[in-house]
């Protein structure tokens, strides 16, 4: 018996060394633990051993970081990915796990959190000096301190007009401050499995500690799409808003969607119905787009381009990715 126990112990030690299950740290090229249980990530109830459901069960997963790039103009962007939600396949990939600046695609997570935590979208928000104080070259809705506006209007302004002022106002309304909201963003991102991300603001303005990846954006966007209100917002081409200004007068504006597929400035890929998405642009992040569409088989597709070198090249690559790999 002692001899048998010794053999078993040695075998266990050897297996631990081989599999990385011991104390020795093992570095993996794939930074996502696709074998985590849904319970441990806060995505569902804890499951027992023997009945374990894997975090990746309903997700697109792949070890490859380069798929299809040799037949597209992939050099125009730093990262890109196309995900078929019907088949759970990654059909196109370029640097999908690389940390990159998200610019205003950050607002997808901001909207996800607002829709999760705000129980009454008709509630009004009073715009603070902090929210209104945006740089002159910043993308804004034109809100001023003291303006009183509904939460749902802020969401449309943030997602269509890409208003950085609206994003700050939402964050302050949900958490009390930008800093507290950023902590909530990181908590929610981690719960979705977005382990290559870190956020410090709700709008995506450049910061060396504010980053994500193509794959993380897929995880976040996929979760947001489960909310019908979110889909309704991102699919809206223009939105008429009326709210009370700080001086008591009534402000009226029309916010147009910055997605050029929806605005008609870019031709949608043949055979695809573009539903909506989120654009983003800064000097550090380049031109970015997260897109939700349906192919001819009515299969839902998420496609993402980060850090494209120009707006026309952004839509060129997005169209190539969809037409060539998602039909």
Binding residues for substrate, as ranges, are 278
Q: Which of 74, 104, 175, 213 is catalytic?
A: 104
Please say if 104 is a catalytic residue. Answer: yes
Give start and end residues of each alpha helix (H) in 199-249: 214-224, 228-234
Contacts of 23 (CB under 8 A, 6+ apart): none
Contacts of 293 (CB under 8 A, 6+ apart): 268, 269, 272, 273, 274, 275, 300, 301, 303, 322, 326
Q: CB–CB of 316/267 below 8 Å?
A: no
Q: CB–CB of 140/158 below 8 Å?
A: no
Measuring CA to CA, which residue among 324, 242, 327, 304 is closest to residue 77? 304
Cα 65 to chain centroid distance, Å, stands at: 18
Residue 148 and residue 124: Cα distance in Å, rounded? Answer: 6
Residue 173 and residue 183: Cα distance in Å, rounded? Answer: 14
Q: Reduce the DSSP state of residue 280 to 3 states and report it.
A: strand
> Which amino acids are annotated as binding site, given as ranges?
278
Q: Which of 74, 162, 173, 197 is catalytic?
A: 162
Please say if 293 is a catalytic residue. Answer: no
Q: What are phi and psi of 290, to 5 degrees?
A: -110, 125
Q: CB–CB of 31/61 below 8 Å?
A: no
Please say if 107 is a catalytic residue. Answer: yes
Q: Which of 107, 175, 197, 303 is catalytic?
A: 107
Catalytic center residues: 104, 107, 162
């Amino acid at each position: 018996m002692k001899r048998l126990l010794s053999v078993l112990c040695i075998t266990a030690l050897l297996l631990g060394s081989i599999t990385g299950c011991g104390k020795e740290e093992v570095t993996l090229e794939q930074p996502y633990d696709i074998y985590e249980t849904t319970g441990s990530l806060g995505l569902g109830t804890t499951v027992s051993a023997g009945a374990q459901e894997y975090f990746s069960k309903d997700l697109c997963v792949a070890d490859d970081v380069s798929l299809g790039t040799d037949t597209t103009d992939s050099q125009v962007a730093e990262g890109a990915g196309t995900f078929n939600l019907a088949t759970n396949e990654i059909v196109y990939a370029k640097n999908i796990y690389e940390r990159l600046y998200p610019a205003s695609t950050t607002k997808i997570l901001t909207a996800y959190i607002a829709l999760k935590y705000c129980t009454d979208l008709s509630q009004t928000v009073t715009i603070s000096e902090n929210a209104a104080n945006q740089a002159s070259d910043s993308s804004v809705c034109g809100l001023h301190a003291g303006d009183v506006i509904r939460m749902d209007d802020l969401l449309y302004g943030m997602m269509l007009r890409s208003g950085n002022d609206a994003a700050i106002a939402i964050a302050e309304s949900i958490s009390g401050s930008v800093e507290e909201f950023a902590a909530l963003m990181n908590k929610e991102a981690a719960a979705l499995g977005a382990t290559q991300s870190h956020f410090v603001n709700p709008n995506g303005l450049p910061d060396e500690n504010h980053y994500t990846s193509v794959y993380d954006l897929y995880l976040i966007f996929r979760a947001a799409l489960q909310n019908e209100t979110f889909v309704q917002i991102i699919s809206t081409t223009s939105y008429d808003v009326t709210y009370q200004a700080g001086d008591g007068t009534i402000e009226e504006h029309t916010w147009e969607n910055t997605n050029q597929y929806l605005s008609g400035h870019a031709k949608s890929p043949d055979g695809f119905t573009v539903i909506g998405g989120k654009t983003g642009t800064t000097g550090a992040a380049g031109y970015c787009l997260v897109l939700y569409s349906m192919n001819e088989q009515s299969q839902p597709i998420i496609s993402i381009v980060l850090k494209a070198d120009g707006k026309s090249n952004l839509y060129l690559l997005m169209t190539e990715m969809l037409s060539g790999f998602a039909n």
